[in-house]
């Protein structure tokens, strides 16, 4: 093929596309002019909230109870959903008592043929959002979504030997991985051991599904119930999983378990991937201070509360994301002042004239005021 | 209106500083009750209101595409007028006060909301939320009193130009959104400055306002009339939009006049306000400086619940749908402390406000000393006052005032 016969159609195509884009832009400008001060998007959202090109939302398709305090919520995501890998999480925004609250939940299915996504939520004590999702939401309601995120995913190709350790709702990213593996036309040859820890058998989410996999010989399931077996003793881990050193390991669960597991793996020089639902925060509080925003709003924040929470409580619209110091969705420039990292106790200081004139970027979700500070937002 | 401190009988003289602070505490408690119970039903209320307004506007504009047919013209114009009123009053004004910020909905938040009005919401938030709500009814500081363009107080010296103020006020009412835009920009003061000395902030604000006006006008007077061309409805749609804007302007002007202008509402002297006004003192000024409109639920919604102007001024950031519920509690507090809760139905309240505009457009005492019988002589006297030179006029004004006072005393004695 000569170069000219290649480039001519390309040029024609791009010119057509250019004209189409130009026309679309003009049509949009006219539609916007007809509905100002709204944009045409605001109007279309009233009729089709899941359409492409608007902010990502989802419609709840079904709420399926899993245990007495857990439910799976199946959601039809908006057109712009990028798709996810099993093990990733999604940020879900719901209005609880009229207030928009965001939380992260692991996606509990691999990509499904019907395009729906699902999260499985366990109502935790004092958990406003989890209680709302488990007990109050109904099919048909809209939720707000962010694109999937997280690197708690299996590598490709999938390792021959896997160890998955989960505790409580820590099973949720792992069930997504398993469902994805076992829905494939060709069953994987991976040798999988799953150590699944729960307080008691009735609280064990997905136990029937997991037992069915075990019965079919697809996984080796080690169920551990604290009320029956006592607290999981990591000294026994090697006897539970004899070839533990040879297995690529993934763990998800409460901080206590993950900290202990990480230490166990470190001591033996082995690698472990973990997924945390909440950051491990320091217990002692700092001094706190007042946080000033560019529009003149001033919020008093104590030394133990993330600036994000304190500001939202005061009605300031804040960018936010995972709320645990991972996704950088909440980062704002601090022009002046000091904040303390609630995970490490490390203090970050911004001094006009000495630090970046654009401000020092801080993660508001894990930073508490350490004296008065000024955020450029 | 005469500033409260200049009145013969000061309506707050009977309150001790302790009383005033107690009123403040009691009002804080009423406020806290609402804040503690804000929730799902409130959020549903504002969302429903926004949805209703948008459907009404879309529906009305769709009907106006065929506005050459009289029924479509009438229905579309009424619908559009109502939707513009809802947008400005119950939705825009209240969202811009931050009444719904607690929902943390980035689409319904005072920092991002824009309304169907000539003045950009940013400018409005400064002049209205900061200036008017802070300096409510302080003569010379609160331009909502019309101080800049009208004679609003007997204490202001009368000049012949004031004779035109009823007309001027009516024209302002018809084009109220532009009046507000000009006032938000402090246009009068800035235009008097030499061009090069006008501050950067004014130039920025001016360009933002002009851009907003251009967009608004393009929508109402170009895009929608053009969309109506296929049915031959260009002119009628243009007329419908013009009427809807005028109706909205007249309505919002009336509601706003009712809020602070009727007889019985107190005004305050700058000098009499302490440097550090306490919470209680601020509350008291809001209580006496506002007037309510009594009426049906529909009326409350159409006024953006500014019919509960007193409650709104006490708690400008509480959700508007809750004012009706706190009103009886606030009223009980007025009664307990022997204060006047100024509330009348819409028509008397509007009449009262206009009566004051007319009264103050004339020299002090003129209206009070005029009746059907002496009207010709009074008109002659007015003509003489108007055409007299400054010194003579001052004497004549004093005489007129004295005469009115004597008549009043005579009536009182009889």
Separation in Å, CA of B97 to nearest CA in chain A: 12
What is the average pLDDT across B331-359?
94
Give the closest-approach CA distance of B39 to chain A in angstroms.
4
Is B219–A36 a contact, with Cβ atoms under 8 angstroms apart?
yes
For residues B23 and B139, membership in a common domain is answered with yes
Greatest mean pLDDT among A228-232, B181-185, B297-301 lies in B297-301
pLDDT at B159 over 60: yes
Least confident of A346-350, B340-344, B348-352: A346-350
CB contact under 8 A, B107 and A42: yes
Residues of B in Cβ contact (< 8 Å) with A100: 103-106
Instruction: Return the pLDDT at A2.
Output: 40
pLDDT at A235: 83
Nearest to A33 among B54, B98, B223 (CB): B223
Model confidence at A284, pLDDT cuts 50, 70, 90, reads low
Range of the domain at B387: 365-413
B326-338 mean pLDDT: 97
B92 and B124 inside one domain: yes
**By C-alpha distance, which of A190, A184, A160, A56 is closest to A110?**
A184
Last residue of a domain, one of B287, B312, B343: B343
Cross-chain residue pair B106–A42, CB shorter than 8 Å: no
Gap between the Cα atoms of B120 and A238, Å rounded: 68
Instruction: Name the nearest CA neighbour of B262 among B362, B365, B137.
Output: B137
Q: Is residue B125 in some structural domain?
A: yes
Kindly state whether residue B323 falls inside one of the protein's structural domains: yes
Q: What is the pTM of this model?
A: 0.89
Q: Which residue is listed with tokens 């009305």? A: B60
Nearest to B261 by CA among B128, B168, B351: B351
Domain shared by B250 and B291, yes or no: yes
pLDDT at B68 exceeding the cut of 90: yes
The answer, for B226 touching chain A at a CB cutoff of 8 Å, is no
User: Does residue B398 form part of some domain?
Assistant: yes
CATH number for the segment(s) A161-275:
3.40.50.80
Count of structural domains within chain B: 2
Residue B387 clears pLDDT 90, i.e. is over it: yes
CA B303 – CA B292 distance, rounded (Å): 11
As a whole number, mean pLDDT of residues B299-313 equals 97
**Whether B406 and B267 share a structural domain:** no
Domain boundaries, chain A: 3-47, 57-145, 161-275, 286-375
Question: In this structure, is residue B354 part of a structural domain?
Answer: no
Residues on chain A touching B103 (C-beta within 8 angstroms): 95, 98-100
B177 part of a folded domain: yes
Distance CA B113, CA A372 (A): 29
In this prediction, residues B353-381 reach a mean pLDDT of 93
* Selected residue of A30, A31, A35, A37 to mutate for chain B interface (largest B Cβ count, 10 A): A37
pLDDT of residue A1: 39
Check whether A169 has a pLDDT greater than 70: yes
Contact A34 B216 (CB under 8 A): no
In our burial notation (b when 16+ CB lie closer than 10 A, e otherwise), range B346-384 reads beebbebbbebbebbbbbbbbebbbeeeeeeebeebbee
Asked if residue A5 has pLDDT above 50, the reply is: no
- Same domain for B329 and B299? yes
Yes or no, beta carbons of A317 and B215 under 8 Å apart: no
Confidence of residue A4 (pLDDT cuts 50, 70, 90): very low
Helix (H) or strand (E) holding A272: strand A272-275
Q: SS3 of B189, please?
A: helix
Q: What is the mean pLDDT of chain B?
A: 92
Q: Which residue has the higher pLDDT, A8 or A332?
A: A332
Q: What is the spatial distance between Cα A296 and Cα A375, in angstroms, rounded to a whole number?
A: 10
Does B6 score more than 50 pLDDT?
yes
In total, the C-beta contacts within 8 angstroms joining chain A to chain B are 68
What is the structure's pLDDT at A358? Answer: 83
Which architecture characterizes domain A286-375 according to CATH?
A: Roll (3.10)
Find the closest chain A residue to B126 by CA distance: A295
Specify the DSSP element, H or E, that contains A194. strand A191-198
What pLDDT, in 10s, does the model give residues B228-238?
Answer: 999 999 999 99
Q: How far is B50 from chain A (nearest CA, A)?
A: 10
Let me know if residue B28 belongs to a domain: yes
Is the pLDDT at B261 greater than 90, yes or no? Answer: no
CATH fold, domain A57-145, is Elongation Factor Tu (Ef-tu); domain 3 (2.40.30)
From chain A, pick out residues whose CB is under 8 angstroms from the CB of B98.
Answer: 315
B290 shares its domain with B408: no
Residue B387 token pair? 């055409």
Residue A12 has a pLDDT of 64
Are B200 and B286 found together in one domain? yes
Beta bridge partners of B268: B138
- Out of A36, A38, A98, the one facing B39 most closely (by C-beta) is A98
Taking residues A242-246, report their average pLDDT.
Answer: 90
**Alpha-carbon distance A61 to nearest alpha carbon in chain B (angstroms):** 21
Task: From B216, B215, B261, select the one nearest B355 (Cα to Cα).
Answer: B261
Task: Please write the tens of the pLDDT for every residue from A122-141.
Answer: 998 888 999 999 999 999 99
């Amino acid at each position: 093929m000569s170069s000219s016969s290649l480039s001519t159609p390309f040029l024609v195509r791009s010119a057509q596309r250019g004209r189409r884009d130009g026309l679309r832009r003009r049509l949009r400008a006219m539609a916007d002019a007809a509905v100002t001060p709204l944009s045409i998007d605001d109007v279309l959202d009233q009729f089709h909230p899941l359409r492409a090109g608007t902010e990502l939302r989802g419609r709840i398709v079904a709420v399926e109870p899993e245990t007495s305090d857990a439910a799976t919520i199946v959601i039809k995501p908006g057109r712009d959903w990028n798709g996810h890998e099993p093990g990733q999480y999604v940020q879900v925004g719901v209005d609880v008592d009229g207030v928009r609250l965001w939380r992260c939940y692991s996606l509990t299915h691999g990509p499904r043929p019907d395009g729906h996504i699902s999260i499985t939520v366990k109502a935790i004590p004092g958990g406003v959002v989890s209680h709302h999702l488990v007990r109050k939401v109904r099919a048909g309601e809209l939720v707000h979504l962010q694109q999937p995120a997280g690197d708690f995913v299996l590598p490709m190709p999938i390792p021959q030997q896997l160890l998955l350790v989960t505790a409580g709702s820590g099973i949720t990213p792992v069930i997504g991985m398993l469902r994805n593996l076992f829905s494939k036309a060709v069953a994987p040859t991976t040798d999988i051991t799953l150590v699944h820890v729960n307080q008691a058998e009735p609280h064990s989410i997905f136990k029937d599904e997991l037992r069915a996999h075990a019965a079919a010989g697809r996984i080796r399931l080690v169920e551990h119930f604290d009320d029956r077996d006592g607290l999981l003793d990591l000294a026994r881990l090697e006897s539970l999983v004899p070839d533990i050193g040879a297995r690529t390991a993934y763990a998800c669960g409460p901080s206590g378990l993950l900290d202990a597991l990480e230490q166990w793996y470190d001591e033996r020089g082995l690698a472990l991937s973990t997924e945390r639902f909440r950051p491990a925060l320091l217990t002692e509080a700092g001094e706190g201070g007042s946080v000033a925003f560019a529009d003149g709003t001033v919020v008093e924040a104590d030394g133990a509360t993330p600036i994000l929470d304190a500001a939202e409580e005061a009605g300031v619209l804040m960018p936010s994301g995972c709320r645990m110091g991972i996704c950088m969705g909440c980062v704002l420039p601090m022009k002046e002042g000091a904040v303390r990292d609630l995970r490490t106790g490390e203090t970050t200081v911004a001094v006009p004239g000495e630090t970046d004139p654009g401000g020092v970027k801080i993660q508001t979700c894990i930073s508490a005021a350490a004296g008065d500070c000024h955020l450029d937002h | 209106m005469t500033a409260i401190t200049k009145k013969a009988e000061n309506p707050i003289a009977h309150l001790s500083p302790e009383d005033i602070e107690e009123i403040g505490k009691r009002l804080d408690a009423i406020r806290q009750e609402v804040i503690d119970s804000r929730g799902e039903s409130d959020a549903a209320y504002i969302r429903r209101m926004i949805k209703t307004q948008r459907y009404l506007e879309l529906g009305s504009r769709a009907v106006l595409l065929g506005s050459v047919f009289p029924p479509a013209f009438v229905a579309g114009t009424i619908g559009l007028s109502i939707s513009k009123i809802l947008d400005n009053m119950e939705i825009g004004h209240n969202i811009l006060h931050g009444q719904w910020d607690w929902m943390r909905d980035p689409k319904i938040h005072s920092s991002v909301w824009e309304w169907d009005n000539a003045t950009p919401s940013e400018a409005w938030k400064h002049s209205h939320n900061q200036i008017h709500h802070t300096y409510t009814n302080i003569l010379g500081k609160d331009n909502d009193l019309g101080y800049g363009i009208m004679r609003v107080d007997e204490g202001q010296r009368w000049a012949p130009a004031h004779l035109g103020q009823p007309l001027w006020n009516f024209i302002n009412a018809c084009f109220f959104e532009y009046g507000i835009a000009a006032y938000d920009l402090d246009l009068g003061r800035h235009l008097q400055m030499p061009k090069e000395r006008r501050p950067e902030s004014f130039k920025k604000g001016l360009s933002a306002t002009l851009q907003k006006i251009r967009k608004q006008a393009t929508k109402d007077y170009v895009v929608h009339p053009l969309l109506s061309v296929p049915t031959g409805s260009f002119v009628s749609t243009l007329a419908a939009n013009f009427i809807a804007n005028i109706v909205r302007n007249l309505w919002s002007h009336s509601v706003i006049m009712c809020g602070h202008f009727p007889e019985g509402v107190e005004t305050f002297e700058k000098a009499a306000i302490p440097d550090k006004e306490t919470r209680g003192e601020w509350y008291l000024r809001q209580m006496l400086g506002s007037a309510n409109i009594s009426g049906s639920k529909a009326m409350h919604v159409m006024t953006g619940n500014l019919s509960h102007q007193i409650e709104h001024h006490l708690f400008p950031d509480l959700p508007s749908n809750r004012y009706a519920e706190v009103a009886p509690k606030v009223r009980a507090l007025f009664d307990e402390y022997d204060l006047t809760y100024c509330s009348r139905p819409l028509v008397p309240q509007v009449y009262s406000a206009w009566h004051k505009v007319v009264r103050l457009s004339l020299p002090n005492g003129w209206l009070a000393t005029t009746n059907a019988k002496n009207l010709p002589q009074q008109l002659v006297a007015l003509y003489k006052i108007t055409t007299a030179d400054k010194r003579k006029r001052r004497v004549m004004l004093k005489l007129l005032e004295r005469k009115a006072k004597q008549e009043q005393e005579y009536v009182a004695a009889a």
